[in-house]
Amino acid sequence: MKLLSWNVNGIRARHNNGFLQQVFDEQPDILCLQEVKASMENIPEPLKNLDDYHLFLNHYHDPAYAGVALFTRSKPREVLNGFLSPLESGRVLQAQYDDFKIYNIYFPTGTGSVEKLENKFNFFNRFLKTMEKESSENIIVCGDFNIAHQEIDLPNPHIACKSPGFLPEERAFLDKLLELGFVDSFREFNGQPHNYTWWSYGHKCRENNIGMRLDYFFVSQNLKNNIKNTTIRKDITGSDHCPIELNISL
């Protein structure tokens, strides 16, 4: 099974400029998109009528911001817009299939104010409580976590550790996820630095590979041996993020 996850930074923009077609050409079984910035009403009609895919969307109350979308060949048994109980507007799609569950998540950035950073911490706490309860199940979690986990996941760790995105408290959330038995699937195959999924627009950051690894596929421990590979698809362009790809036997 082939899964792709991509922060598109605007689904309409990526559709209109043709870049979204790159991922559909890959024919993934499941495509998870973050920061779609659209409600169902203003998603381009061709995307709502794809022959091979079911579309699910959790848009933010302001549809010009955030939002997550799921394109899936097989229709899930159930799709929810949150974790165990609360509605997470524009941030979570939980899809239950016969043999596994996938979470498509756009985590808050935490930048701009103390309140926004606190909101990010609260969101991660709700997420981790859910993962703690479900860690024995077949779980796949993907999306834009807005956190670089290790020093090899960005070029300037000693400077970045003072700002949201690489704060010690944020990195501890991902440590906790690993302690629960989840596997950072990319690091199962590649332990090298300079593998990034996000680059700031301008200043030739992408050309010079000055970025951060913010996007992940985490897999529950009992699915670890099912992972075939995980790759960062820098060849697919159009957004300030690139997709990540998980191939797994399910």
Closest by CA position to 20, among listed 198, 28, 72, 12 = 12
Mean pLDDT of 125-142: 97
Please indicate whether residue 227 or residue 62 has the higher confidence score (pLDDT).
227
Number of domains in the chain: 1
Strand partners, 202: none
Asked whether residue 85 carries a pLDDT value surpassing 80, the answer given is: no
What confidence score (pLDDT) does residue 8 get? 98
Which helix H or strand E contains 2, and what residues bound it? strand 2-7
Asked whether residue 96 carries a pLDDT value surpassing 90, the answer given is: yes
Mean pLDDT of all residues belonging to the chain? 96
- Which region among 25-39, 78-92, 186-200 has the lowest average model confidence (pLDDT)? 78-92
- Domain enclosing residue 127, as ranges: 2-248
Asked whether residue 73 carries a pLDDT value surpassing 90, the answer given is: yes
d(CA 217, CA 141): 6
d(CA 201, CA 120): 23
Mean pLDDT of 35-51: 95
What confidence score (pLDDT) does residue 84 get? 81
Asked whether residue 86 carries a pLDDT value surpassing 90, the answer given is: no
> Are the C-beta atoms of residues 63 and 38 closer than 8 Å to each other?
yes
What confidence score (pLDDT) does residue 113 get? 95
Percent of the chain with pLDDT strictly greater than 70 = 100
Question: pLDDT tens across 115-128, in order?
Answer: 999 999 999 999 99
Q: Which residues are catalytic?
A: 144
> Are the C-beta atoms of residues 233 and 7 closer than 8 Å to each other?
no
Residue 7 CB contacts under 8 Å (≥ 6 apart), including other chains: 33, 34, 35, 106, 143, 144, 198, 215, 239, 240, 241
CATH code, 208: 3.60.10.10
d(CA 17, CA 9): 13
DSSP secondary structure code for residue 91 in this structure: T
To the question of pTM greater than 0.95 for the whole model, the response is: yes
